Amino acid sequence: MDQLPTREDIAKTHRAIQPYIHRTPVLTNQTINQLTEATLYFKCENFQKVGAFKMRGASSAVVALDDDLKYRGIATHSSGNHAQAVALSAKMHGIEAHIVMPKNAPSIKRNAVEEYGATIYTSGNLIKDREEKMKEVLESTGATFIHPYNNYHIIAGQATAAKELLEDFPDLDILMAPVGGGGLLSGTALSSKYHDALIKVYGAEPKLVDDAYRSFKSGKIETNDRIDTIADGLRTMLGEKTFQVISQYVDDILTVEEESIIKAMRLIWERMKIVVEPSGAVPLAAVLEHPELFKGKKVGLIISGGNVDLQELPF
C-alpha cells in the first residue's frame, strides 16, 4: 500500500486478517455513563491477541507480504506490544521474527517475545543503538522491517478496530483513540470518516507528551522534551504518514493530566472489572477532563490494550 488506505483497502485488510485476530467485545457501563452524562462504548482491545490492538496492524503487514518476502521473515525493534504482535504474527504464519530489544527491556517483555519463538537481538538502550542493530539484522537476514505505525498496512490494520465498533454501533457521534505514534488514531479516523463524515474523531494524549497536540496545531511534526508519562504506550512521536492522516481527518486532540489517567484507569478496573493499561484509559480520562464535549453524546472509546505489570500499579 503506497498511499492512504481507502475504504476498500480497509475492508480487504479486515477480511485478510480475520483468522489472526479476535473480534473484540464492546462493553458499556451504567455507572460511568451516569458519571460522565454520556453514553460510552468501550471497544476492548485489551482482549485482543497479545493484549493490544497492535495485533491488527502486525497481521495486516504480514498478510500483505508476498511469499518470497515472507520466507525471509519480519523484523522490528520495540520493547512493547508491537514486538509481541510481530512475534506472534510470524509464528502464526510459520515465518521468522527478528526482534531488536534494548538491554534495559524488562525481562517479562523479553520472555513474552521469546515464548512466541522470535529471535531476540540485544542492543544498547538509545534509539540510535536500536536502529543500528536493526540495520545489521536486516542486512544479514533479508527480513522485512515492520514499522510500528508509520506504514499504511499498519494503519489499515489498526483501522479495523473502529470499523468493527461502527459495525456494532453505527450511530456513534464521536470516536476517540489514544495517540502515541498515531497508528491507532489514524486508522480510527479513516474508518470513522469513511463510515460517516459527520462523526467527530478525537485523539487523546497525555499532557506530558503532547507532541501530537502541538503537531496538530502547528502543522509540522513536533517532538517531546520529556517522556515520563505513565501511559507507556504513548511516549513516541508521530510519523509522516500518521501525521498526514491525523492532520486531515482528526477533529481535535485532547490532552489530559497524569492524575486523570490514573483516575480513569481505576474507574475502568473498579467498575468495569477489566484490566486496562494506562494508555488504554487515556480516552476516558479525556471524557472526564472535557465533559462539555461529550455530554448527551454516544461516544466510542478504543481501549488500546491491557498489558500492565501487576507489580507496578499506580494505585
Residues near a second copy, by CB under 8 A? 25, 46-47, 51, 266, 269-270, 273-276, 306, 310-311, 313, 315
> Which is nearer to a second copy, 41 or 243 (by Cβ)?
41
Cβ partners under 8 Å of residue 137, min gap 6: 75, 98, 100, 121, 143
| C-alpha–C-alpha distance, residues 304 and 302, integer Å | 6
> Which is nearer to a second copy, 266 or 297 (by Cβ)?
266
The nearest distance, CB 24 to a second copy, in angstroms, is 10
> Which is nearer to a second copy, 145 or 269 (by Cβ)?
269
Phi, psi of 95 (to 5 degrees): -120, 175
The nearest distance, CB 269 to a second copy, in angstroms, is 6
> Which is nearer to a second copy, 50 or 287 (by Cβ)?
50
The nearest distance, CB 89 to a second copy, in angstroms, is 15
CB 54 within 8 A of CB 79: no
The nearest distance, CB 193 to a second copy, in angstroms, is 30
H helices of 37-151, in order, are: 54-63, 67-72, 81-93, 107-115, 127-141
HSE-CB for 244 with a 13 A CA cutoff = 11
Phi, psi of 123 (to 5 degrees): -120, 175
The nearest distance, CB 8 to a second copy, in angstroms, is 32
> Which is nearer to a second copy, 29 or 191 (by Cβ)?
29
Distance of CA 133 to the CA centre of its chain: 24
The nearest distance, CB 270 to a second copy, in angstroms, is 7
The region that residue 240 occupies, defined by phi over 0 for left and psi between -120 and 50 for alpha, beta otherwise, is: alpha
Phi, psi of 27 (to 5 degrees): -110, 150
Cα pseudo-dihedral 149, 151, 157, 162, rounded to 10: 60
Which amino acid, one-letter code, is at 146? I
> Which is nearer to a second copy, 12 or 91 (by Cβ)?
91
> Which is nearer to a second copy, 37 or 270 (by Cβ)?
270
Would you give the DSSP letter of residue 51? G
Pairing of β 97-102 and β 119-123: parallel
The nearest distance, CB 49 to a second copy, in angstroms, is 9
